[in-house]
Amino acid sequence: MQYYQPGSLADAVDRLKEVDEAKIVAGGQSMMPLLRQGLISPDALVDITAVPDLDEVTASDDTVEIGALVTYSELLDAELCADLDLLRDAVEAIGDVPVRNAGTIGGGVSHADPAQDLPPALQCLDAAAVSFDGDGTRRHDLSEFFLDYYLTELAPHEIVTGIEFERPPARAGGAYASDTEAPGGWSTAGIAALVVPDAEDGETCVDARLAYCAGAPVPKRVPDEIESLLVGDRIDRETVDEVAMAIVDDLELIDDVGDDVEYRKHLFRVMTKRAITTALRRSDAPPLAEAPR
């Protein structure tokens, strides 16, 4: 197997194009286990860690750009994660310190494991992955980016260069809730929530975004008709229950990770309620309203 460590994006794309079965490697946290177990055997590895300018977090009051080579630990240390609870919750849920020290944001989204913790948070932030294919850059809405298990919109020679999103309004609240007691630390039910109260009355929910992992072949933004149940009024306990049940109905669970499907549905119900109530508590809106009797 050939090993290359190109010093520019253009060189990296050239290497990927010139070898039929070439694979990108960044932090190696998913790639190395696959190689060790003989599950893949590429002809070449293109290590992109020496490509410059992909390791910065740039955040203004309005927009955020996270370079593809930013590690989870670097992201946790960035001021951005102090501001954005949703992002911090999701990154903290990933593996352990060694995994977070090596794993990169670009590798995480490109790997497209349906159980990964960060994609749902990024989907709730309406984030896009930016990629380079040698001819130019493309933006991929992360709610459309994942096509199937371990499959994305990326062409084999296309490199993710970063993640971009607009900051949610300061009055918004976000949270990620997951079942971290699962074997190996991977979530068997993970859900991200972002709620935005009305700027004028401070309590009507005007925007609600939900996304989950480990419940379908891809990390999935929840369909509009479910999210919109939370919009237009002050959020109450009954509506949160209704949303949690609707999400359970939306799941495409298969019995593959040791826990039975009914138990995982139960976890999703609990995690959904936890994510929405925590997001609400962290927003400028008043706490969860009791449903009128």
Ligand X SMILES: Cc1cc2nc3c(=O)[nH]c(=O)nc-3n(C[C@H](O)[C@H](O)[C@H](O)COP(=O)(O)OP(=O)(O)OC[C@H]3O[C@@H](n4cnc5c(N)ncnc54)[C@H](O)[C@@H]3O)c2cc1C
The residue to which tokens 């010139």 are assigned: 18
223-259 b/e with 16+ CB inside 10 Å = b? eeebbebbbeebbeeebbeebbebbbebbebeeebeb
Encode 137-154: b = buried (16+ Cβ within 10 Å), e = exposed.
ebebebbebbeeeeebeb
Which span (8-16, 29-37, 59-67, 164-172) binds ligand X, by CB under 6 A? 29-37
Smallest gap from Cβ 93 to ligand X, in A, equals 6
Question: What is the nearest approach in angstroms of ligand X to the Cβ of residue 124?
Answer: 15
Closest residue to bound ligand X by CB: 107
Site residues for ligand X, window 92-151 (CB under 6 A)?
94-95, 99, 102-104, 106-108, 110-111, 116-118
Torsion, CA 137, CA 133, CA 122, CA 247, rounded to 10: 120
Regarding 29 and contact with ligand X (CB under 6 A), the answer is yes
What spatial distance separates the first Cα and last Cα of the chain, rounded to whole Å? 68
Number of residues that bind ligand X (CB under 6 A): 31
User: Which lies closer to ligand X via its Cβ, residue 67 or residue 168?
Assistant: 67
Residue 195 or 218: the one with the smaller Cβ distance to ligand X is 218
- How far is Cα 22 from Cα 42, in angstroms, rounded to an integer? 6
Indicate the residue among 177 and 243 with the shorter CB distance to ligand X: 177
CB of 104 to ligand X, least distance (A): 3
Please pick, from the candidates 186, 264, 273, 275, the single residue that binds ligand X as defined by CB under 6 A.
Answer: 186
Place of tokens 């994660």: 81
Distance CA 118, CA 137 (A): 23
Query: Among 13, 16, 26, 214, which residue interacts with ligand X (rule: CB under 6 A)?
Result: 26
Does 23 contact ligand X by CB under 6 A?
yes
| 30 near ligand X (CB under 6 A) | yes
- By beta-carbon proximity to ligand X, the closer residue of 180 and 204 is 180
CA distance 36 to 9: 27
By CB under 6 A, residue 25 contacts ligand X? yes
Q: Which residue, 170, 179, 175, 135, is CA-closest to 155?
A: 135
Phi, psi of 33 (to 5 degrees): -60, -35
Which positions touch ligand X (CB under 6 A)? Answer: 23-31, 33, 48, 68, 94-95, 99, 102-104, 106-108, 110-111, 116-118, 154, 159-160, 185-186
